[in-house]
A and B are shown apart, each in its own frame.
Chain A
Amino acid sequence: MVAFKIELPHVGESVTEAIIGKWLKSPGEHIEKYDPLVEVITDKVNMDVPAPASGTLTKLLAAEGDTVPMGSVIAEMETDEANVRGDSESSPTPAGAKSPGSPLAGRIGTLVQGANVGPTGGEFLDTSLSSPEPGTRPATAASSGPDNGKQHFSPVVTRLAAQHGVDLGTLVGTGLGGRVTKKDVLAAAASAPPSTALADSISAEDQVIEPTPIRRMIAAHMVRSTSEIPHAWSAVEVDVTGMVAWRAANRQRFQQTHDVRLTYLPFTLLCVAAALKVSPRINSSWLDGKVVLKGAINVGVAVAAPEGLVVPVVQSAAGSTLLELAQQLDGVVKRARSGTMTLNDVQGGTFTLNNTGALGSVWGGAIINHPQAAILTTEAIVKRPVVITEKDSDSVVVRSMMNICLSFDHRIIDGAEASIFLQAVRTGLEAIVVDTEF
């Protein structure tokens, strides 16, 4: 039996911490390797951390609701195996944890019970040792405070920024190498409007709700997007009469042949992916002052899941057929709705598609999914009277119309590029007629 520290593994790009959701095992319980040990909640997905070895769980070191950085120790166990290595690339176990079989154990030695040394060198078995542990005056508690762990920001800068609600990402630093200094934060704070405390703003009739961890994460994500990315918007109306007809004619066959429920989403995804291929700046990201054009086209699809909005990702959307997209979407949306998504389902997104129309919206200004450059909403398909011009002659006909609205990062994308992209999506969708081959 060897004492072993269980670390929260590093998972998911850009995820640095997780919230402990629910412990699934208790101290004293025997656990098998790979047994689910604890549910954790991250920015992207909820997941179970598996036990890294078989043995007995001895200590829990993080409580439910705690936010814990990845790599930190969350529990301890006694393993059955002689030599255990963690599944994550964490720091090696300390020398003291090595099993008796390892070469270091002999050099470390063991304690001989009852071999005591007296005050001046002889033998003395102190019977007063059976008395209780002496208490000590508590040491002066070192001041503890929030640790945002931001790189390149000094402790006072972090603290003052949090205190005054200053977004450090928006500041230009005047210190060496562009470092944001204490003066910079104080100057920014002086020009910002003061925030009102919660207590001043609520009345007896109001109901104050404590946000769930997921809600908090979403909130933080939204604040980040809106404070870092300068949003601009553009929209076009799309005549989807043909797409509607195609689906009506083929959905039953789809269900029977492929066991896939066919929605409008695969169509829009197909056209969006194709349009992204020719408008790479829409499929990019502003990172460290540079524009990164993403090579892959992985489109995240916003789904309303029981605990809040989640965005499963359809990987490599541009190379897939309609059927393939429909199948992928079907699977991933099912998993999202049932809370069984894997980390792979939520990683790697480069663009986001949000079908706000499903709930009746005809117009949207969605918030970009940081750190992407754009997000597109597909609004409700509504039968409208539309003017058609044929051979110089105008007539009014009834068409199924769907607005598509683009929010884009104006640092990277200008109105013209946005329009080009939207036109491409529209063209693709309007080209669908009832007998189109996919």
Chain B
Amino acid sequence: MPEQTVIEAVRDTMRAEMRRDESVILLGEDVGLRGGVFLATDGFIEEFGEDRVIDTPLAESLICGLALGAAVNGMRPLAEIQFADFVWPAINQLVGEAARVRYGTNGVKTAPMTIRVPYGGGVRGGLYHSQSIEVLFAHTPGLTVVAPATPYDAKGLLASAIRSDDPVIVLEHKRTYRLVKGEVPIEDYTIPIGRAEIKRPGSEMTIVTYGLMLHYALQAAETVSEQGLDVEVLDLRTLRPLDADAIAESVSRTGKVLIVQEDTPAVSISSEVAAIVGERCFFDLDGPITRLTAPELPPMPFSPLQEAAFMPSPEKIVAAIAKLAEL
């Protein structure tokens, strides 16, 4: 089976979807002639032309407003926000408008649009090329948010997002773009939105995580298995809607949960996962619900030692596992 990096899987999926459905149009800054700053759309304008690969002006609210307008008029726009840190001017068009189109028109208008957003740190990105932005979107009824962390999941979830009739935010951790390589089948497939996946089965503890942290958690689980600790790793994959059933099933079975996220902790995905565990697994818990997150600082400092101190790491996860296992 061929192996690809995450960025290759993303690129190939977009290309396949654009070939499959001519209503899919690409818009964003530098997506055309430059092929995208991460080369996600390298070669696209040559293949699909200026009318399907649109270099927009530098205006994020416009990009998402355009996507929304085109979506309600028969297109399936696939927009890119160049860095998650730049999404804030577009929040109104996404959270205030796109999320509410179907509800506010009682189903008469729908917005089949996809917004791809590279996010996350550990790339020496400083305060404005490192942010995690999932929380606002994951909180919003009407929006769907996915966060694939492997090449296989990137293809399947991006295809589902583009084919979905709802507005979908696709969060791609930029560190995984070239760091993670894995098997990706050539044939067409989709992954259902809203389903987490056990990436590593275990019996004594569940790590719930997503994004780059999935890979760090898997490394940590491998390390502790040599000491006889059997840790399960659950990849959320979709952040809204969260797969509460999968979370509850896993934690009820293992009895202990460690939630690992790169984002800061207050009012975050980990808070919601903890609430679900508390509501549904209380009488199966053999230890307190535990989180490992970034510290409560603006993500994230530029200088290397500070960036490393900010980010969770496999070593920090190993220590957290050991502490929770000991209790």
Contacts and interface: CB of A to CB of B under 8 A. Distances in A.
Direct contact of A and B (CB under 8 A): yes
Given A142-B279, A143-B280, A182-B255, A157 B286 contact: yes
Contacts of B326: 176
A181 B256 CA distance: 12
B287 A154 contact: yes
A175 B255 CA distance: 14
Given A176-B326, A176-B327, A179-B327, A159 B279 contact: no
A145 B282 CA distance: 9
A368 to B, nearest CB: 33
B197 to A, nearest CB: 23
B285 interface: yes
Interface in A138-194: 140, 142-143, 145, 154-159, 175-176, 179, 181-182
Contact of B284 (A140, A159, A181): A159
B282 A155 contact: yes
Nearest to B284: A156
Contacts of A159: 283-284
A173 to B, nearest CB: 11
Given A175-B327, A176-B327, A182 B279 contact: no
Interface in B109-123: none
Contact of A143 (B255, B279, B286, B327): B279
A156 B281 CA distance: 9
Nearest to A181: B286
Contacts of A176: 326-327
Contacts of A145: 282-283
Contacts of A156: 255, 283-286
Contacts of A140: 279
B152 to A, nearest CB: 32
Nearest to A180: B286
Nearest to B282: A155
Nearest to A140: B279
Nearest to B285: A155
Contacts of B286: 154, 156-157, 181-182
B284 A155 contact: yes
Interface in B188-242: none
A82 to B, nearest CB: 41
Contacts of A143: 279-280, 282-283
A157 B285 CA distance: 8
Contacts of A142: 279
A342 to B, nearest CB: 39
Interface string B276-312: 0001101111110000000000000000000000000
Interface of B: 255, 279-280, 282-287, 326-327
Given A154-B285, A155-B285, A175-B327, 20 more contacts: A143-B279, A143-B280, A143-B282, A145-B283, A154-B286, A154-B287, A155-B284, A156-B255, A156-B283, A156-B284, A156-B285, A156-B286, A157-B286, A159-B283, A159-B284, A176-B326, A176-B327, A179-B327, A182-B255, A182-B286
6 contacts: A142-B279, A143-B282, A145-B283, A154-B287, A155-B282, A155-B283
Q: Please name the 3 residue pairs, one residue from A and one from B, whose CB atoms are nearest each other, closest first.
A: A182-B286, A159-B283, A155-B283
